[in-house]
């Protein structure tokens, strides 16, 4: 009997233990459901998990802040070290080093802050470029200065348009808006030469960093003496032949939806400007041919392809040609949508401003002579501005070729703009031809 009682007691004890274990398991199961353990928090409840994640986020934010602060500090130190280095080396513009690394161009008179502010260009798209040479060749990039105005791309006005000192009471850059009729678009006179930046400043749309000083100081090789006197050395063409100008004395124009300043009449468009250049070059002993073929009559987009065929035909027929000049006129709008008239006053005459455009092989198409072309453009600007102070705008170095790979030397010239009159452009053409003659055939 006693043994039986002990057995019953043991059985009851085991049942109680079993019930206790079941209660514990049930509690643990409920607790787990309520607090949701996970392997990454060592079974912390939700409140503790939230606090741990919050702390983790704070650490990540602090780490990010430290990285950004360190990067800014290193950039500042690098900039300061570079300035000091260039100052000891004796460079005139210590910021050129960083400018060239960041933007691939010479600052040449602009300090670092000024160039940063001027990097809407550049884009100039850029800085991007002008009407004539931008849309046609490859529907390509624009220049340090571009917006859209007519049915083509147009050059926007650079940020620095410093006017030269004026000694007469009548300032050529003054404009009376009260004279503009309702609905008309003003034609604003402006100086776009940026001559205060010096002759070394260029618009650079490439990743190249040409040595501007060396190009300016090195002699230009133009082997005219190896050919008979009657052999043509220069060819003038017009890829955008129908580009024309505003009426004489015009201060506004009506936007009727048509194309601005276009004409098939060679007496009114850029052909007339090219004729002035050709006549003076020939008079100065540089045999020059002038092609008057209209290349943009059928299609503006394919005009560069057609002018390329023309150039090839001339080069084949006249292998002595050393230089091809493609003469255009620019089309410039300011940020207010007003047409710009790039102009200077010299000896009482109003003369349109000029800009040289140089193509390169940066886009991949071969153009082995692009640095020689750039040298010619730089020397032409230097010569023009030495004589006329601010007639020539900065040279624009572009990533596409503009057919300049076809001849031994080539240059694209924007003589005036759609806001200029034909007479203003023709006066500029005279200046270009005289300076170009001195460069190609130096006296003595």
Q: Please answer whether residues 377 and 411 qualify as being in contact, where contact means their C-beta atoms are separated by less than 8 angstroms.
A: yes
Mean pLDDT of the residues in the chain? 77
pLDDT at position 109? 38
51: pLDDT confidence band, cut at 50, 70 and 90?
A: low
Label residue 18 by pLDDT band (50, 70, 90): low
Distance separating alpha carbons of residues 20 and 388, to the nearest angstrom: 107
Q: Give the C-alpha distances (Å, rounded to integers) separating 33 from 19, 24, 43, 434.
A: 21, 14, 12, 94
Out of 3.30.365.10, 1.20.1050.10, 3.30.2350.10, 3.40.630.40, the CATH code matching 177-440 is: 3.40.630.40
Residue 198 region by backbone torsions, left for phi larger than 0, else alpha for psi between -120 and 50, else beta: left
Give the percent of the chain with pLDDT over 70.
64
Beta carbons of 243 and 262 less than 8 angstroms apart: yes
Instruction: Dump pLDDT digits (tens) for 160-193.
Output: 544 444 333 358 999 999 999 988 999 999 999 9
Residues 6+ apart with CB under 8 A from 164: 191, 195, 344, 389, 390
pLDDT for the residue 444: 56
> CA-CA distance, 345 to 419, in Å (whole number)?
16
Residues 234/323, Cβ–Cβ less than 8 Å: yes
238 vs 70, more confident: 238
Whether pLDDT at 131 is above 50: no
Task: Name the helix (H) or strand (E) containing 378.
Answer: helix 370-388
Rounded to two decimals, the pTM is 0.68
pLDDT for the residue 112: 37
Predicted confidence at residue 201, as pLDDT, reads 96
Residues in the chain: 444
Instruction: Tell me where in the chain the CATH 3.40.630.40 domain(s) lie.
Output: 177-440
- Identity of the highest mean pLDDT range in 73-77, 207-211, 221-225: 207-211
């Amino acid at each position: 009997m006693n043994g039986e009682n002990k057995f019953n007691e043991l059985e009851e004890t085991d049942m109680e233990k079993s019930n206790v274990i079941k209660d514990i398991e049930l509690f643990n199961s409920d607790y787990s459901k309520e607090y949701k353990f996970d392997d990454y928090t060592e079974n912390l409840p939700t409140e503790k998990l939230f606090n741990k994640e919050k702390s983790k986020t704070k650490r990540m934010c602090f780490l990010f802040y430290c990285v950004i602060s360190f990067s800014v500090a290193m950039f500042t130190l690098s900039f300061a070290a570079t300035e000091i280095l260039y100052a000891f080396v004796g460079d005139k513009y210590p910021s050129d080093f960083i400018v060239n690394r960041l933007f691939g161009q010479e600052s040449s008179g602009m300090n670092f802050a000024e160039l940063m502010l001027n990097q809407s260009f550049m884009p100039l798209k850029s800085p991007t470029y002008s009407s004539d040479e931008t849309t046609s060749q490859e529907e390509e990039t624009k220049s340090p200065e571009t917006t859209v105005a007519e049915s083509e791309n147009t050059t926007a006005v650079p940020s620095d348009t410093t006017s030269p000192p004026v000694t007469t009471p009548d300032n050529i850059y003054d404009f009376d808006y009260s004279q503009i009729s309702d609905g008309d678009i003003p034609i604003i006179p402006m100086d776009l030469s940026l001559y205060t930046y010096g002759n070394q400043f260029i618009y650079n749309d490439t990743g190249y960093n040409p040595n501007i000083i060396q190009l300016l100081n090195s002699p230009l090789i133009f082997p005219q003496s190896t050919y008979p006197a009657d052999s043509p050395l220069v060819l003038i063409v017009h890829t955008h032949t129908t580009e024309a100008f505003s009426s004489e004395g015009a201060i506004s124009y009506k936007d009727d939806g048509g194309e601005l300043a276009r004409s098939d009449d060679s007496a009114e468009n850029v052909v007339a400007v090219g004729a002035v250049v050709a006549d003076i070059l020939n008079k100065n002993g540089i045999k020059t041919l002038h092609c008057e073929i209209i290349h943009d009559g059928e299609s503006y987009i394919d005009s560069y392809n057609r002018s390329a065929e023309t150039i090839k035909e001339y080069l084949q027929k006249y292998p002595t040609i050393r230089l091809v000049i493609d003469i255009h006129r620019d089309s410039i709008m300011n940020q207010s949508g007003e047409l710009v008239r790039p102009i200077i006053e010299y000896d009482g005459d109003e003369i349109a401003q000029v800009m040289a455009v140089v193509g390169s092989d940066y886009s991949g198409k071969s153009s082995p002579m692009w640095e020689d072309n750039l040298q010619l453009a730089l020397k032409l600007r230097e010569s023009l501005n030495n004589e006329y102070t601010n007639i020539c705008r900065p040279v624009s170095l572009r990533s596409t070729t503009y057919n300049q790979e076809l001849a031994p030397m080539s240059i694209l010239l924007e003589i005036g703009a759609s806001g200029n009159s034909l007479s203003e452009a023709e006066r500029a053409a005279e200046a270009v031809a005289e300076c170009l003659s001195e460069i190609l055939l130096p006296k003595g």
